[in-house]
Amino acid sequence: MVLSDNFKRKIDYLRLSVTDRCNLRCKYCMPGEGIRLAGREELLTYEEILKIVKIFGDLGIRKLRLTGGEPLLRDDILELIIGLSKLKDIEDISITTNGILLEKYLERLYRSGISSINISLDSLDGKSYRQITRGGDVERVIRAINKAVDIGIKRVKVNVVLSSVLKTEDIEGFIRWVMEKPLDIRFIEMMPVMDIDSIECSAGSIMEDGEQPMIGMEQILSIMKKAGPYTKLDEKRGFGPAEYYKIEGSRGNIGFIKNDMDSCFYCNRIRITPMGILRLCLFSDEGLDLKEMLRGEFSENNIKTAIISFIEKKPKDRNSSSSCRPGEKSRIPGFMNKIGG
């Protein structure tokens, strides 16, 4: 079966948030004082996750990414991955993590069938990393990334949000890394979160301290040029909107993810929150309560019918989403740990 929306976009990629818990408090994600977390009974159970992913597999979902919060904080995460890997229609399972706990889990993640790992790392400098994450240990994350490559994870991607803490020295360090290791380093323009008023989007974004980011994508390309000639890759890498470049002689690649609507026109993804709400767009606050159906008297066919009907309503772009107010730029409604990245 092929799952599609009213704009003929094929929907085959599900991002599933398995917890709203996180062990960091990144400035662009949530306020420093934290937020109210869902009770355990509000979250999807192991059995409910397996059931709903199987249903989506029947409908045409082939690619699954586990997110959070921090997914490695979920007690049954390894058992969950093993269970999901046995579903016949799911062809690719990946995970997004902040990397703090990754080294501990890497060997078991590799054996469980994870094909790709995304790690957030917004600076290589220990002080800057602690500032933006409000307390994280950058050395733990760097060790985990290197180990992920060394043990043979098929694809290791490092996500770097453009922010006021990012410096030229960071860019130079990331470039040296891709020269030596088969990594994808992706620089991401910040997206605006509705309830964090001090953060704006794009290369002109600001952090809570009001500092302007010093480095944007054009500056990164200039720094790359000093490392050697580079070319833009024509082939598609992965399932997301990143554009990739390869520096001559490098083992890895540099990618860019822009904060614009260009990727909306071929968006193939949907999201499920930790509380079991199906979301069609990161910028939309409309949802379908799958948990209510799973815990109610709904048959699988009833659930499938509801999902198909809801996905047909996927907005054309972020400015068509329900959270976009007239005359305002679109913003992500709610904190990212509640939605999933």
Whole-structure pTM value: 0.90
Q: What is the pLDDT of residue 168?
A: 95
Percent of the chain whose pLDDT exceeds 90: 72
Q: What is the pLDDT of residue 275?
A: 96
Q: What is the pLDDT of residue 283?
A: 83
Lowest mean pLDDT among 48-52, 104-108, 234-238: 234-238
Domains delineated in the chain? 13-339 (3.20.20.70)
Name the token pair of 268: 């193939």
pLDDT(285) > 90: no
The whole-angstrom separation of Cα 186 and Cα 258 is 10
Q: What is the pLDDT of residue 314?
A: 95
Query: pLDDT confidence of 190, banded at 50, 70, 90?
Result: confident
Query: pLDDT confidence of 221, banded at 50, 70, 90?
Result: very high
Average pLDDT score, the chain: 89
* Residue partners of 123: CB distance under 8 A and separation at least 6: 129, 132, 138, 160, 165, 166, 167, 170
pLDDT(165) > 60: yes
Q: What is the pLDDT of residue 214?
A: 67
Q: At what angle do helices 138-151 and 126-133 cross, to 10 degrees?
A: 100
